[in-house]
């Protein structure tokens, strides 16, 4: 093995380097930690950009680590997500309560995203499990970041307990799978003759992963954690962490578990319907915007399964494409919620009444984000959702498709409720106008460009489809 081969791990190595730099910066700086914000943000920005440069593909460590064009695209997608989260956090980290602890925030998130990158590249269940833990544990610490709020501590403990529990289930599943197939390598599974024990193992594995994606009925931690955790961490959980779990789910389903296709199609069919419906129905009742976005992101996970179920190339491309769009749309929504909360301390839907009259630009961004989540043209969410529907129709899952389009209408209803609050409702005491900081504005501009651009640039989708694979 030569040194050049290490370049295959370019994303991970750069992120580790960034983490070291932040650590050194922490030691080197004195009382004023504001410089760390700039350092971390611009480091992450460069890493994200470098990620898009052409890179070699191949395998390392006997197939433990795999990198190909599709995985690179997935990593880049999620790195963009992290960059946006960083941009949105700077203002909040500058507040009095958090000032002494800036570098922890960046270090832990970088650690988590290193886990995300390794997770996507894992070619073996050992590697998979290791990186999955690395993805989750730092976020649990971060969920409890606002120590002075009991809510935040509660969120942290809920997240760590539920993820420990899900890891246990997942490990149990993996041990059964190893027992029946004799392999942990993604490319070597032989389920033939494994019988029902293989299926049991798969179900445990799926349940463990379903916790991370917050699929109903494994979603119960989601709303509480999103509400209690700092907004940026909720954003990270709902986009990067969930996106990574979706990616690895589709990668393993299409490779290791391909022989169990009939089984997982049934499982996906049922959970997709329940997840969409429950997520949507609960979202209608939410008054707190963070809880609202939590249930909306549960429902979105149900929609994502439409792309997985067919097991086709189109489905994989549609899924990655949707997650890419979802990164921009959901982070735009979280970004607005965050900056409003930082400036006014308000995060319930009633507080947003009349927001358009005082903060027109933020309201417009929020509206675009919600339309994108609802799948309304001309924003990219329309294309993302339509292609997911296309993937389901390709596999002939018309019943699922019909339920999904009906769910899309329900989701439109509650997204419109927020639009209504901002644009139509009048308020005696609206959130007063404020100017956002440079980084937040930059992040929202990136999100808006992404939401408008990705749909119209057909080449992005075409590229994703060209690097995708089906069963």
Binding site for other proteins (CB under 8 A): 314, 317, 371, 376-378, 382, 386-387, 389-390, 393-394, 398, 401-402, 405-406, 408-409, 412-413, 416, 419-420, 423-424, 458, 461-462, 465-466
User: Minimum distance from CB of 456 to other proteins (Å)?
Assistant: 8
Q: What is the Cα–Cα distance from 378 to 451, expressed in whole angstroms?
A: 9
Q: What is the Cα–Cα distance from 1 to 5, expressed in whole angstroms?
A: 7
Q: What is the Cα–Cα distance from 77 to 123, expressed in whole angstroms?
A: 19
CB 325 within 8 A of CB 450: yes
User: Minimum distance from CB of 35 to other proteins (Å)?
Assistant: 38
Q: What is the Cα–Cα distance from 342 to 336, expressed in whole angstroms?
A: 10
User: Minimum distance from CB of 360 to other proteins (Å)?
Assistant: 9
b/e per residue, 251-268, with b = 16+ CB within 10 A? bbbbbbbeebeebbbebb
Structure tokens at 438: 């440079």
- Closer of 178 and 382 to other proteins (Cβ): 382
- Closer of 55 and 393 to other proteins (Cβ): 393
Report the greatest alpha carbon distance in the chain.
Answer: 69
User: Minimum distance from CB of 353 to other proteins (Å)?
Assistant: 12
CB 110 within 8 A of CB 138: no
- Closer of 49 and 406 to other proteins (Cβ): 406
- Closer of 248 and 391 to other proteins (Cβ): 391
- Closer of 97 and 462 to other proteins (Cβ): 462
User: Minimum distance from CB of 272 to other proteins (Å)?
Assistant: 16
User: Minimum distance from CB of 461 to other proteins (Å)?
Assistant: 5
3-state SS assignment for residue 186: coil
- Closer of 197 and 445 to other proteins (Cβ): 445
Q: Would you tell me how many other CB atoms lie within 10 Å of the CB of residue 20?
A: 12
Cα 195 from chain centre: 34
- Closer of 164 and 457 to other proteins (Cβ): 457
Q: Write a three-state SS string for 329-380.
A: HHHHHHHHHHHHHHHHCCCEHHHHCCHHHHCHHHHHHHHHHHHHHHCCCCCC
Which is it for the CA torsion 189, 194, 196, 197, positive or negative? Answer: negative
Question: Which conformational region is residue 425 in: left (phi greater than 0), alpha (psi within -120 to 50 degrees), or beta?
Answer: beta
Structure tokens at 178: 């190893």
CA distances from 30 to 27, 35, 96, 103, 286 (A): 8, 10, 16, 12, 43
- Closer of 50 and 467 to other proteins (Cβ): 467
- Closer of 264 and 371 to other proteins (Cβ): 371
122 forms beta bridges with 65
- Closer of 58 and 458 to other proteins (Cβ): 458
User: Minimum distance from CB of 358 to other proteins (Å)?
Assistant: 13
Q: What is the Cα–Cα distance from 37 to 400, expressed in whole angstroms?
A: 45
User: Minimum distance from CB of 403 to other proteins (Å)?
Assistant: 11
User: Minimum distance from CB of 386 to other proteins (Å)?
Assistant: 7
User: Minimum distance from CB of 458 to other proteins (Å)?
Assistant: 4
């Amino acid at each position: 093995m030569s040194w050049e081969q290490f370049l295959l791990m370019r994303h991970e190595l750069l992120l580790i380097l960034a983490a070291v730099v932040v650590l050194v910066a922490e030691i080197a700086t004195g009382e004023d930690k504001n410089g760390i914000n700039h350092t971390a943000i611009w480091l992450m920005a460069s890493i994200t950009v470098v990620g898009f440069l052409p890179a070699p593909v191949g395998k390392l460590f006997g197939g433990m680590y795999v990198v190909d064009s599709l995985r690179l695209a997935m990593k880049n997608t999620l790195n963009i997500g992290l960059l946006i989260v960083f941009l949105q956090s700077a203002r909040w980290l500058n507040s009095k309560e958090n000032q002494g602890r800036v570098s922890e925030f960046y270090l832990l998130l970088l650690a988590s995203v290193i886990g995300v990158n390794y997770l996507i590249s894992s070619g073996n269940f050992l590697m998979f499990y290791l990186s999955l833990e690395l993805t989750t544990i730092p976020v649990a610490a971060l969920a409890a970041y606002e120590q002075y709020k009991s809510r935040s501590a509660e969120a942290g403990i809920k997240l760590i307990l539920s993820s420990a529990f899900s890891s246990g289930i997942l490990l149990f599943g993996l041990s059964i799978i190893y027992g029946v197939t004799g392999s942990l390598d993604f490319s070597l599974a032989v389920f033939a003759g494994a019988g029902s024990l293989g299926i049991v193992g798969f179900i445990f594995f799926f349940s463990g992963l379903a916790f991370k994606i917050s699929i109903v009925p494994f979603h119960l931690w989601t709303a509480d954690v999103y509400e209690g955790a700092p907004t940026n961490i909720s954003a990270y959980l709902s986009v990067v962490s969930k996106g990574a779990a979706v990616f690895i789910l589709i990668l393993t389903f299409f490779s290791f578990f391909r022989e169990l296709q009939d089984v997982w199609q049934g499982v996906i069919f049922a959970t997709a319907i329940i997840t969409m419906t429950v997520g949507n129905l609960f979202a209608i009742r939410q008054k707190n915007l963070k809880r609202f976005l939590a249930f909306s992101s549960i429902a979105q996970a149900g929609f994502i399964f439409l792309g997985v179920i067919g097991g086709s190339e189109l489905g994989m491309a549609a899924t990655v494409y949707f997650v890419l769009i979802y990164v921009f749309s959901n982070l735009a929504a979280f970004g607005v919620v965050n900056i409003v909360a930082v400036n006014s301390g308000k995060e319930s839907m009633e507080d947003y009444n009349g927001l358009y009259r005082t903060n027109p630009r933020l309201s417009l961004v929020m509206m675009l984000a919600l339309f994108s989540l609802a799948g309304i043209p001309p924003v990219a969410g329309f294309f993302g959702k339509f292609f997911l529907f296309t993937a389901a129709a390709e596999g002939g899952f018309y019943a699922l498709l019909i339920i999904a389009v009906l769910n899309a209408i329900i989701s439109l209803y509650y997204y419109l409720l927020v639009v209504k609050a901002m644009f139509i409702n009048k308020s005696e005491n609206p959130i007063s106008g404020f100017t956002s900081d440079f980084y937040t504005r930059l992040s929202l501009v990136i999100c808006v460009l992404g939401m408008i651009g990705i749909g119209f640039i057909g080449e992005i989708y075409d590229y994703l489809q060209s690097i995708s694979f089906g069963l």
